[in-house]
Chains A and B, each alone.
Chain A
Amino acid sequence: MPAELMQNRTQKIWIPRKMKDGRPTLPYHSCGPQLANSPTVIVMVGLPARGKTYISKKLTRYLNWAGVPTKVFNVGEYRREAVKQYSSYEFFRPDNEVAMKVRKQCALAALTDVEVYLKEEGGQIAVFDATNTTRDRRDMILSFVKENGFKVFFIESVCDDPNVIATNIMEVKLSCPDYQGCNVSDAMEDFLKRISCYKNSYQPLEPDGYDKDLSFIKVIDVGRQFLVNRVQDHIQSKIVYYLMNIHVQPRTIYLCRHGESEYNIKGRIGGDSGLSSRGKKFAMALSKFLDEQNLKDLKVWTSQLKRTIQTAEALKMPYEQWKALNEIDAGVCEDMTYEEIKEKFPEEYELREQDKYYYRYPSGESYQDLVQRLEPVIMELERQGNVLVVCHQAVMRCLLAYFLDKSADEMPYLKCPLHTVLKLTPVAYGCKVESVFLNIEAVNTHRDRTEEGKKGPSPLMRRNSITPFASPEPLKKPRMGSFDEFSASSSVDASVSMPSEMPTSLSAQPHLARACLT
């Protein structure tokens, strides 16, 4: 007898009414394929300055955005906690027994935290970021993984181009806490000696020999070539695909909304209205702004809604329409004002205030749905060079959350005002944001979190989500020197469009999202 179903009020997911001990009798999932039953440890491998931390952080940011709780465990940070002051490369000499002991202990401490994260904190993926250049070390990790029933996937970065290495060192090593107070050439010289400490004992992964049964990807020469061995499951396949699409060429991504629309002026949501006269002025101003940016080869993307296309038309450049960039579908609430929604659907109105990320409009979408819809856009953005994306408020919040590593909780409240272009430039391990208001007045469409929203997600949601942890900070908090600490826990007023802010992406915050990776 087919069980009676009830529809979860926030997400609009149908679940069986018959429940044993408050849990449904059969396991079910709200979206997409079930990700690895067992958690996965991703193990980075490679000499220093090969981009391991860059990859670790970027991959973690992507996975978290897509709803897979992921965290980086950087052994270097554990070492900095243990050995307060870095003296010189001598610490890394293979014959430095005392140091070797300390370094091993740091690795073990990190693995302990990995275990806690994956077993007790709801983590799905842990990225173990260290050189892991010897078989011994990797065998130790393999035992650890086996004992705990985790899956393991290695990512090795191999690169011998001295230009690339020197650039890496300049970009991220010189400003590292280890070299605070050193001049550039001293730091460079010391770091190069550090690298040579590892070289002699480096045992690269051998697909034809010792490591033929391991699952791994070897990234060669910053993505010119990849060797992929024994991909086991969906998440590893997605990780490989992601790694094969990212690049390190400098470029800029511009995000903005369509110009002010007729509906914006009336306070109506959704719909497919055209630009107001101020909106048209914005389109002209945007054209001028882009000219001044003096870009080589800019791609322009819009949604398939009239207002973004009209905006792009003023640019006198070729543009491409993506249905996936359409604004969030407000279902039965399309074309209404918030007052009308509150009057006609008071319960829906309140549910949305309580849990804006997971809330799905009846016959419509949620932010969570948007993320799934936008994933191919993100993937293609990673492949591209300079791109301008002319989109919509909710869509822009989702994209911005990806680039700035904002949690599911913050995402629906990111400030994306009309007539303001956000210019994103990758730098070091994160993204620099510049906010440019093009000086054409427009209505404000932003609604802050209400008192209801500040209480946190409703208890009804707990069942579908990873229990968020009260403890905000990871055990070993990194000291990032010149970068502003961008703590994902500042959720009260996520006013993100501050000019020249340099948020880095340290995905320390366990996220409220369910695996939506398709």
Chain B
Amino acid sequence: MEALSPKLELTQNPLKKIWVPSNNGLPCKPTLQRRGRCHSGSMFNCSSILLPVCMTNCPTLIVMVGLPARGKTYISKKLTRYLNWIGVPTKEFNVGQYRRNLLKTYTSFELFRPENEEGMKIRKQCALSALNDVRRYLSEEGGHVAVFDATNTTRERRNIILNFAGQNGYKVFFVESVCNDPEIISANIMEVKLGSPDYVNCSNEEATEDFLKRIECYRNFYETIDENADRELSYIKIIDVGKRYLVNRVLDHIQSRIVYYLMNIHITPRSIYLCRHGESTLNLSGRIGGDSGLSQRGKEFARALSKFIKEQNIKDLKAWTSQMKRTIQTAECLDVPYEQWKVLNEIDAGVCEEMTYEEIQEHFPLEFALRDQDKYRYRYPKGESYEDLVQRLEPVIMELERQENVLVICHQAVMRCLLAYFLDKSADELPYLKCPLHTVLKLTPVAYGCHVESFFLNIEAVNTHRDKPENVHINRSTEEALKTIPPHL
């Protein structure tokens, strides 16, 4: 007698269109517990695009190591921004900030003198306070990665951290920045130290002099991560701002990704230009998706873009487009060779492709409401979500980090995702970022962040931005649903 065929019943989550096991049409609680957790709460599908691989069974503590002005905070912030963007909840803990909160005013480098017992006590207290917050973040607040940003230049301090991590079940990965190039150090000081709250009432010369003395306080006691003594630790040593790397014992996926990221970033000044294709014929009729060509005004924009780019006088500009007609038509006007990336294609609206919002409301009112409820995670039936887009765009971000001057001609949702990465916008803000047609955003890295300049190239275009309506309930009226739709033909 053959065994009965199992039911293997599944139901599809209406928002993300993920299939989960069900019983009589209702999703069931997963019967199997995975070791560790997915931050999305669901056992069988991680929303982190780092993959469905729940890369951390245990949380990871990244520990920065290095003398002052070696780029530790720069790396911490950048890495944190990247990890959050790809869906790994990450937070940085800057011990200097704790010290500033405790001491209110900074007097001089004397605080950092090793003989200054009072100073040492305060600084150690700040470190422990920060570690306490790390523990809360990783063990209670659902954080996956914490970046502990401090000099951590002695073996003693690092051992304290290792013990702390061991007690709490965290993996530890050290990131040490080693650099002895005086030019780089003074550039760092200029860029980020002089503007620090510590030096708010000082002249540049005074600040620089004090800071250099501060560095000296650490130098004698600096115990660099040692190839032999520290053979069992997991770490990356970054030497001379990326000329060389020493990588030891990468333990898991997240550490591997972090190493790859750190090895691809650079600090050479450059600008990234983001814009959408020129206005398309589908844009004019308020339709989403599709593969239409440029409208008359869109073609004018393409010419205006070419002129703008020439005037910017950019050295060695690379231009990237998607594989959709409208971005390529836009790029064709430039005198710059361009490369087509399929992954830069607009979000796939699945069954809603080429519809107007009015038509979507008419045919799929439930879908339309769900999208308004959670625009980031909402996946169009047979299409994609912003969350999917971020996963798709990760290689673009990685390559943008490697490159210098780049112009990316893409699409509304895609541009929002890329912009969110550069401007550190949350998943909630991302789908509502304003990326109007015929407007170029110029992003220039500065200090710890990104300076944005917006250039509207003076060619009129329809507005394609739809704000979140007040009523997102599935039972809302058509009128309420369509309230925020921008006008179109």
A418 to chain B, nearest CB (A): 16
Contacts of A383 in B (CB 8 A): 253, 256
In contact, B247 and A226 (Cβ under 8 angstroms): yes
In contact, B332 and A5 (Cβ under 8 angstroms): yes
Nearest A residue to B227 via CB reads: A225
Q: State whether the Cβ of B259 lies closer than 8 Å to any Cβ in chain A.
A: yes
Q: State whether the Cβ of A321 lies closer than 8 Å to any Cβ in chain B.
A: yes
Interface size class of A (residues with CB under 8 A): 35 or more
Q: Tell me the interface secondary structure of chain A in the complex.
A: mixed
* Known A284-B6, A320-B44: A309·B256 in contact at CB below 8 Å: no
Contacts of B402 in A (CB 8 A): 234, 237
In contact, A372 and B342 (Cβ under 8 angstroms): yes
Nearest B residue to A317 via CB reads: B32
Q: State whether the Cβ of A227 lies closer than 8 Å to any Cβ in chain B.
A: yes
Contacts of A27 in B (CB 8 A): 337
In contact, A318 and B44 (Cβ under 8 angstroms): yes
A218 to chain B, nearest CB (A): 9
Which residues in window 1-59 of A have CB below 8 A to B? 1-3, 5, 7, 12-14, 16, 26-34
Which of B5, B245, B399 has a CB less than 8 Å from the CB of A228?
B245
B197 to chain A, nearest CB (A): 36
Chain B residues engaging chain A, CB cutoff 8 angstroms: 2-3, 5-6, 8, 10, 12, 17-19, 21, 32, 34, 43-46, 51-54, 227, 243-250, 253, 256, 259-260, 263-264, 291, 293-294, 299, 302-303, 323-325, 328-330, 332-333, 337-343, 353, 382, 388, 391, 395-396, 399, 402-403
Nearest A residue to B334 via CB reads: A26
8 A-B pairs in the complex with CB atoms less than 8 angstroms apart: A207-B244, A226-B247, A227-B245, A228-B244, A240-B263, A323-B391, A380-B51, A518-B399
Determine the distance from Cα of A29 to Cα of B382 in the docked complex, in whole angstroms: 28
Nearest A residue to B247 via CB reads: A226
Determine the distance from Cα of A80 to Cα of B395 in the docked complex, in whole angstroms: 43
Contacts between chains A and B (CB distance < 8 A), count? 170
Nearest A residue to B253 via CB reads: A383
In contact, A380 and B340 (Cβ under 8 angstroms): no
Contacts of A361 in B (CB 8 A): none
In contact, B399 and A33 (Cβ under 8 angstroms): yes
Determine the distance from Cα of A317 to Cα of B21 in the docked complex, in whole angstroms: 13
In contact, B52 and A301 (Cβ under 8 angstroms): yes
Q: State whether the Cβ of A275 lies closer than 8 Å to any Cβ in chain B.
A: yes
Q: State whether the Cβ of A277 lies closer than 8 Å to any Cβ in chain B.
A: yes
Given A226-B245, A304-B19: 14 more A-B contacts, CB < 8 Å: A2-B303, A7-B325, A26-B337, A31-B342, A227-B245, A227-B246, A228-B246, A309-B10, A320-B44, A322-B52, A363-B291, A363-B353, A369-B342, A383-B253
In contact, B32 and A316 (Cβ under 8 angstroms): yes
Determine the distance from Cα of A518 to Cα of B3 in the docked complex, in whole angstroms: 47
Contacts of B382 in A (CB 8 A): 272, 334
Determine the distance from Cα of A158 to Cα of B343 in the docked complex, in whole angstroms: 38
Contacts of B260 in A (CB 8 A): 237, 241, 244
Which residues in window 373-388 of A have CB below 8 A to B? 376, 380, 383
In contact, A225 and B5 (Cβ under 8 angstroms): no
Nearest A residue to B396 via CB reads: A518
Determine the distance from Cα of A316 to Cα of B247 in the docked complex, in whole angstroms: 38
